[in-house]
Structure 1
Amino acid sequence: MENEASAMTDTSTSRFSRLLSAMFPRMPDFHGLLNDQCDLVVRAMDEFVAFMETGDAAKAKEVRRLEHEGDKLKARNIDVLNRSFSTPFDREDIYRAITTIDEGLNYAKTTVREMEVLGIEPDTHMLEIARLLHQGAKALQTGFARLKANPLAAERDAAAVRKTERQTEKVYRKAIAELFDPEHYAQALAERRREPGDDLELLLEPMDQAGCSSVAKGLSFVMEALKRREIYRHLSNAADHLAHAGDILHDIVVKTA
């Protein structure tokens, strides 16, 4: 009889537990989910910096592969958020964090893609900004990892992410100033032992040879400047999005600390 009573009690407890689980599902580990995204961004930035150092097409390909992996992580995390009954902090902030962290990956991928399409090789300014983006991604990774146990420390990391954006803007302005300086352009060409405008002269054949060569060199300078300006601006926007992710981390700290 005691065994039967015990079995009935266990069954009742089990049913009650299942009922509670159905009504109040266990909260997903959103800290871990966001950490997964931050870890992937850092991995992508490792490859991004390596690409800017070497111009290696294999590094660019790896950046694109990691960005596709990031799309899957973002979709997974949004699905978990949509299905969750409760969250450890504001639901909107979690959604903003998921989508904004992913933007860092998107900009790394589109930067290497645009450089391939435009035929632009990395330069020292691009490398410097890439290293700052990597630094910002690392600070973001550390901040979200600390968020659960030590949110006040995470606030310092959020500030570090925003600092890298300000540093990036300084590099961007310097790069633009040099980019539209013809003397700097001519010196860069000399260092690379490259004659500008050879491919453009085919478009100017009706002109005499001297005029054709002069105009082609001018067009080459303008086209090179516009292409590089496009990449610099893209990198600056990448820093803006990482800073936005840092702002979201700050908002979460303010609400939960």
Structure 2
Amino acid sequence: MGLFKKKKKSNFFTMLHSQMDAVTEGMSCLYEYCKTGDEALGDKVIAWEKEGDKRRRELIDEINHTYLTPFDREDLFDLSRLIDDLLDYAAATVDELRLYMIQANEEVCLLVEQLVNMSECLRASISYMEKRRDIAKEEALKAKKLENVIGRLCRESLAKLFEQDDYHIIFKYREVYRHLNRSSDIGDAVADLIMNIIVQM
């Protein structure tokens, strides 16, 4: 037996999937937090955001110590960053609801529910990237369709919100709606990048 062990081959697909696991768990906790108002669930979202940061750091460290990556190094870095941004927005939503001292209304819950669905599609897409690119593309396209759904829901929510007279309430919920809509834009960017990577593989 040699003195030096061969370095284990990096599996970046597994690491990306692990990042998306954290996103999906965090989004699910955010949805339950919005539905129940249970602050312990809000704390779980924050905890998942920190765990997501940890998983991203591990992936970046692996990139820096790996000569060959399964696809373009910059694309790998960008995909990991965008996935991490999704969790950052989930945690920021909790922070906003707490800062503005408002409860998630029905519209917020509907938006977050669709973000959960989007994150599940993106997780499925990444899980199939390595060996079933056709399915990976299908799941990415599903995520992109959900971005359109979320955009429509956001516009409808804003229209309903502006029927109120309390400008303080309007401002607070408007910021949360826009924040959630921005989350869907990032999810759409993740889907686009996945499909671009698939074409190049």
Alignment TM-score, normalising by the size of structure 1: 0.75
TM-superposed deviation, 1:158: 0.8
User: Which of 74, 94, 110 lines up with 2:56 in the alignment?
Assistant: 74
Amino acid in structure 1 at the alignment position of 2:54: K
Match of 1:251 in 2: 196
TM-superposed deviation, 1:52: 1.3
User: Which of 94, 114, 125 lines up with 2:96 in the alignment?
Assistant: 114
TM-superposed deviation, 1:119: 0.7
How high is the sequence identity, in percent, across the aligned residues?
A: 28
Amino acid in structure 2 at the alignment position of 1:115: L
Structure 2 residues not aligned, in runs of 5+: none
Amino acid in structure 2 at the alignment position of 1:232: Y
User: Which of 46, 54, 71 lines up with 2:36 in the alignment?
Assistant: 54
Using the alignment, how far apart are the partners of 1:157 and 1:96 within structure 2? 19
User: Which of 80, 101, 105 lines up with 1:123 in the alignment?
Assistant: 105
- Map 1:114-153 onto structure 2 (within 5 A): 114-153=96-135
1:237 aligns with 2:182: yes
TM-superposed deviation, 1:93: 1.1
Cα displacement string for residues 201-234 of structure 1 (whole angstroms, at most 9, x for unaligned residues): xxxxxxxxxxxxxxxxx6xx01110011010000
Q: Is the 8 A contact 1:27 1:85 kept in 2?
A: no
Match of 1:224 in 2: 169
Using the alignment, how far apart are the partners of 2:184 and 2:34 within structure 1? 16
TM-superposed deviation, 1:72: 0.8
Q: Is the 8 A contact 1:27 1:87 kept in 2?
A: no
Q: Is the 8 A contact 1:97 1:248 kept in 2?
A: yes
Count of matched residue positions in the alignment of Structure 1 and Structure 2:
201
1:88 aligns with 2:66: no
Using the alignment, how far apart are the partners of 1:241 and 1:94 within structure 2? 16
Amino acid in structure 2 at the alignment position of 1:254: V
TM-superposed deviation, 1:59: 0.8
TM-superposed deviation, 1:79: 0.8
Using the alignment, how far apart are the partners of 2:37 and 2:194 within structure 1? 33
Using the alignment, how far apart are the partners of 1:245 and 1:61 within structure 2? 26
**Over alpha carbons, which structure has the higher Rg?**
1
What is the CA RMSD across the aligned residues, in angstroms?
A: 1.6
TM-superposed deviation, 1:56: 1.2
Match of 1:7 in 2: none
TM-superposed deviation, 1:26: 5.3
Match of 2:14 in 1: 32
Cα displacement string for residues 148-193 of structure 1 (whole angstroms, at most 9, x for unaligned residues): 11011100111111111110000000011011113xxxxxxxxxxx
Q: Is the 8 A contact 1:38 1:141 kept in 2?
A: yes
Structure 1 residues not aligned, in runs of 5+: 1-9, 183-217
Amino acid in structure 1 at the alignment position of 2:79: A
